[in-house]
Amino acid sequence: MKLVSFFSLLFLSTTHAQDRPNILWLSCEDISPTIGCYGDPHAITPHIDALAKCGVRYTHAFTTAGVCAPCRSGIITGLYQSTLGTHHMRCNAQLPPEIKPFPIYLREQGYFCTNNSKTDYQFKAPRETWDISGKKGHWRNRKDPKQPFFSVFNFTGCHESGIASTSKYQTVTKRLSPSERQDPAKLTTLPPYYPDTPAVREDWKRNYEVITAMDAWAGDLLAQLEEDGLSKNTIVFFWSDHGVGLPRAKRWLYDSGTRVPLIVHLPERYRQNKQGTPGTVSDQLISSIDFGPTTLSLAGLPIPKTMQGRPFLGAKTAPARDFVYGARDRMDERYDIIRMARDKRFKYIRNYEPLKTFYQYMETPEKGVTMKELRTLHEAGKLKPNAEKFFNPTKPNEELYDCEADPNELNNLADDPKFAGELKRLRSAHLKWVKDTKDVGLIAEPIIIELEKEVGSRYGILRQKNGDALSKQLAEAAVLASSGPSALPNLTKLLDAHHPAIRYWGATGLGNLGEKAKPSQAQLTQALKDKSPAVQIAASRALCHMGSPSKALPVLQHLLINGAEWEQLQSAIVLDEIDDQAKPAEAEMKKALSTKVAKNKYVIRVIKRAFQELDVR
């Protein structure tokens, strides 16, 4: 009954008891648009479906990363994580004084701002960000019932752990009725890049059921709005932080990882310029960094010039986007630098580290049943091509997909001459974005740490004098490093560049070429003495890949034990990557398994995996 009465009230005219709207965010974790109103035939989501009937459903909403923390840092600031320096999963950036979480602007104008669950911004939020952040974060806790509020509630039950952990799954779904349960054998939506086995279908079933549990949670909060008499003057957003928490989705820049549900309900009194018509479906491109600016716009506040996001609702909307963009960087213990540009139809992906396989071994996703099933069947030679391709030892430099004709993004068109124009257009858009947004993510993490100490923030690294020129050089060097053998002469020249971030890409690019980079062996050997440990490590990797590890191993061994945190990790990754060549370093690798030596848990994870691989061989 609460559901029916709440949504019937949304169509009624309102009184003017309040000048400014309340704004409620209902966010959830790790779900794609696997919802009834998005056309999914199996989804049981009556509350979200009803909200869509009373609001606007966006079909082309995307997050800037396929993982939570980098994405959330962008949502709360309105900036790309790769601009802010919060791009690596589980990093801790210093927020510069000119960048503020957007709830601060709301609070300055009298809003009561609460966050009920999860911050995870990868920086220490200023104290003035929230009135209340935590379990007591609720609009009901404001002292003045007439005070406008901005309240965020986040449902954690559909996080990947709600699928992977049987105990959590059972807890999250314990209130579902028999009619709300799914029969895994009848699910017709299993992606073609998964093996069709009972174990994988069980994970897919769990995904649907935790989403149904989320729907009930959302319905309860909407009912609370009605109970408090607030349904007629509260704008409601519903969104997810990224795609489903399963392999080749979460952590990735394919639509399975970045395309999310987004629904916004505007009560009648706040509809302007034909915005918010009930039941509207919009295909305009929306980025998750647009959520904050849009909230400020709906509250009648100006948008800070530092924000890169654009308001898509309110009195002053920005021009429609031509592209949305995304970035993948370090995911826990593994680096894989990837960038994405997408328009309404085509997706472009640049793999800056094509020498790495898609499915690098990472402890967290490897715990999931689907990932275990993928790896087991791969090792048995029983995977079908659409699943097996992600175990290829290398990746293409570029990927291009027609997302309308190929929604699962399996047919790479980058080498198809019929799509040469689209490839050039999106490649150019991607490179312009990297340069214009000053992509700090193209700087090796050990170098970032040192520069942050000098400058005061990661955001400021490429905003110093000559920052524009350095940003341009950095972008071009990174592209060059993934451009194949023709780049050899220019990559070698980069080893003499003034800035260590450029020299790093020179060495990395030569490493990507492997034995084809042998003409540059003397220059790489000299780079082992570079002032930057990150450059030393990249040069060591390159020498190992061209079959000359004798001079490189001592550098890796030394930095593995004595290096700073991220120097240790990068040394460990190279030792894991070079397989049997790492055997002379076994003693140092064993030392690195000690928490007294390793400066973070990721170093230990990588070395453990390296020993597992050595044992297999």
Q: Are 266 and 278 in contact (CB under 8 A)?
A: no
What long-range pairs does 514-523 form, CB within 8 A, spacing at least 24? 514/355, 514/545, 514/546, 515/545, 515/546, 515/547, 516/485, 516/488, 517/488, 517/491, 517/542, 517/545, 517/546, 518/546, 519/488, 519/492, 520/488, 520/491, 520/492, 520/495, 521/546, 521/548, 523/492, 523/495
Residue matched to tokens 């691989």: 613
> What is residue 330's three-state secondary structure?
coil
> In 3D, which of 52, 613, 318, 532 has the Cα closest to residue 43?
52
**Secondary structure string (H, E, C) spanning 352-385:** CCCCCCCCCCCHHHHCCHHHHHHHHHHHCCCCCH
DSSP 399: E
Whole-angstrom distance, CA of residue 368 vs CA of residue 435: 37
Phi, psi of 424 (to 5 degrees): -65, -40
* Cross-strand bridge partners of residue 521: none
- Nearest C-alpha neighbor of 137 from the set 27, 229, 55, 252: 27
Q: Which residues of 398-433 are buried (b: 16+ CB within 10 A; e: fewer)?
A: bbbbbbeeeeebeeebbeeeebeebbebbbebbbeb
Amino acid at 527: A
Is 68 an active-site residue? Answer: yes
Determine the Cα–Cα distance for residues 565 and 553; give it in Å rounded to an integer.
19
Tokens describing residue 407: 């929604």
Angle separating helix axes 2-9 and 198-227, nearest 10 degrees: 60
Placement of tokens 């974005």 in the chain = 433
Catalytic, out of 28, 37, 54, 68: 68
Task: In whole angstroms, give the CA distance from residue 152 to residue 117.
Answer: 8
Closest CA to 341 of 357, 361, 368, 322: 322
Catalytic residues: 68
